[in-house]
């Protein structure tokens, strides 16, 4: 999972429009849990990074599901709400926060027709 998170982190740092979306976030923490793997993403004042932190008190939201579903979310292939509706992922968060998280993951997805212009 750590490798997939690193790919996501490098992709999001190339997306100025997504960085604008997270520039005012003050410590949004998302723990991704699948099978025996965990990863923690932190969005803080326009920065996004991964932490190795076993302190569950510091985690804001937890997304649980199968590895394929987590990867699909990180790659931007499927929207978070679709994965939740299909019971492939679970998250407990206010609807507004779910929309924000969905937007971050989905907008980080590379658009193939524009990829040559973005890179």
User: What is the pLDDT, as a whole number, of residue 111?
Assistant: 55
Q: How far is CA 31 from CA 40, 42, 84, 119, in A?
A: 4, 9, 16, 29
Report residue 60 as tokens.
């804001």
User: What is the pLDDT, as a whole number, of residue 2?
Assistant: 87
Considering the chain, what is the average pLDDT of its residues?
A: 86
Report residue 5 as tokens.
């998170």
User: What is the pLDDT, as a whole number, of residue 53?
Assistant: 63
Top pLDDT among 2 and 98 is at 98
User: What is the pLDDT, as a whole number, of residue 119?
Assistant: 44
pLDDT digits (tens, 9 = 90+) for 30-88: 999 998 899 999 999 889 999 876 666 667 899 999 999 999 999 889 999 999 999 99
Top pLDDT among 45 and 112 is at 45
Closest CA to 69 of 81, 57, 59: 81
User: What is the pLDDT, as a whole number, of residue 8?
Assistant: 92
Q: Which of 30-39, 86-95, 107-116 has the lowest mean pLDDT?
A: 107-116
Buried b (16+ CB within 10 A) or exposed e, 20-58: ebbeebeebbbbbbbeeebbbbbbeeeebebeeeeeeee
Q: DSSP assignment, residue 84?
A: H
């Amino acid at each position: 999972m750590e490798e997939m998170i690193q790919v996501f982190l490098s992709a999001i740092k190339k997306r100025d429009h997504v960085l604008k979306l997270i520039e005012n976030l003050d410590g949004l923490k998302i723990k991704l849990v699948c099978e025996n793997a965990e990863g923690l993403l932190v969005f803080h004042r326009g920065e996004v990074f991964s932490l190795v932190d076993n302190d569950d008190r510091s985690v804001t939201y937890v997304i649980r599901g199968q590895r394929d579903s987590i990867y699909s979310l990180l790659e931007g292939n499927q929207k978070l709400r679709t994965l939740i509706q299909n019971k492939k992922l679970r998250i407990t968060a206010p609807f507004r926060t779910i929309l924000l998280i969905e937007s971050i993951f989905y907008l980080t997805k590379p658009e193939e027709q524009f990829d040559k212009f973005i890179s």
